[in-house]
Chain A
Amino acid sequence: MEKQQEQPMKMLKKRNVLGPVATDFTAANTGNWRIERPEVDYSRCSKCRTCERYCPTNVIEIRPDDQECVYINFDYCKGCGICTNVCPRQCIQLIPEVR
């Protein structure tokens, strides 16, 4: 076994642990996967929260009092487009991502 692997394994053995143990809760930078991104027509949004509930990455938040009432965390949005497809008013569409 390589040294860099050996050291942590020895430590684990000492504590009666058999495999690698996750000690950090982390997030990958999935936002940079995007080739398209959702664009919302806020004026047509009825704030029904359908997109919020169906977003697989859980990055959509409805903020009823804001003018931009659909808040999307683009650090993680993968640009899958599910929100555009489930919106009953079809007020979200995918547009090419520009960086």
Chain B
Amino acid sequence: MKAMTGTRGLVLNEPFLWEQGARGRTCFSMPRRDVDPCPLKDELVGQGPDFPDLSEVDLVRHYTRLSTWNFGVDTGMYPLGSCTMKYNPKINEKMASLPGFAGAHPLLPAELCQGVLKLMYDLEKYLAEITGLPAVTLQPAAGAHGELTGMLIFHAFFKARNQQRSKILIPDTAHGTNPASAALCGFKSIPVASNDQGVLAPEEVAELMDEETAGIMITNPNTLGLFEDNIKKIAGIVHAKGGLVYADGANMNAIMGIVDMSKSGVDILHLNLHKTFATPHGGGGPGSGPVCVTKNLEKFLPVPRVIHQNGDYTLTYDCPESIGKLHAFYGNFGVQIKAYSYILSMGAELKKASQLAVLNANYIKEELKSVFHLPYDRACMHECVFTDKFQKPYKVTTLDIAKRLMDYGFHPPTIYFPLVVHGALMIEPTETESKTSIDLFIAALKAIAKEARESPELLHEAPRNPKMRRLDETIAARKPCLAG
């Protein structure tokens, strides 16, 4: 076996910002004062916030040290299921920071911002091509924001028909944002159980779908990493009752160039540019969650829309049936630039990316299914879901396995999700991991499975290599301390 990457190194401690510095230090090159002081009225003036004064070196050391306590995709394999932690190309970072983009004011007259409008227009076009759904808005700032946009469109669609529908079908494998987004629009979630194959059965949907139900929110491929192969039939059932089909496209990385969402019967779909389209996740965001819809639903998309007329690009607010606006301006444009650069760099090879993502996941599934319990033993898409059932006899849990992976130098998979699988370990390698790194990951998990049998305390005590040992989440929640 090749040497594992996980090891210990010199890690430096670092106090809080406000435990450092000295009044009068500065890290800011103050612009020249070329006008006279003009004091504000005393009654308006406050104390000013109690911030520390730091030097430039103080600040640089602080954040450099903090950064070394983190694990990113650039550090190593990050097989966090449902999150598509693929490599984030460096060139895209440069593109987003070009002065013409980074310095652009959002309210510039159209004639002064043709560059960004063309970029947005073309990105919409590319996303339409990739999904098969012809009309696109880039405004949602993340996946859940896209879901909200979709649910607002559901609401507007029924309102326009003078119908109030109160329910929505949501599979039990769905991400928590799905029911939460539906609830914001007043829809009560009706859970739909997946069948013993891990997918939705049309009969189950037919049973629940009625004219009080606005439609269905379905993740495809679903969070078990399986393609919902009855999608077309299910869409037929939902449409027959006047409902709409929303697809959570967080897992689009499995099917680019292969599936046509429109042909599958989907009316509305959101994408996560910070997953499928290689934009970095930033330790929590910013993301971008464009929404793609059928021609019929285009009129409901948020304003403004980018239009192209006589060679000029403009933003139009003249959309009387639009649901309105979800963001002050046009969403996370800086993220859109990175996704656009990625699409231009990949072209039709996006299909190859999906194929290799699926290949990597199936390879891992086959290699590991003898040591970890695989609840749905069938071909998977871009991710595979195991459980801790085989490790139970040794009192080893999914959490222990995840923590032990850190010692070996890997980011753990997503754990305890989807909820329908007890003790889930959801592994999404993505296409940018080579066979070499995947083989090492497999070797690490096999070694961990062996440890679970032979010396489970190694797992219970994990992790040992990172800066911190396991953290007490109960105390954090019981006695919240959210600011220093």
The reply to whether chain A is a binding partner of chain B is no
Interface residues of B (CB under 8 A from A): none
Interface residues of A (CB under 8 A from B): none
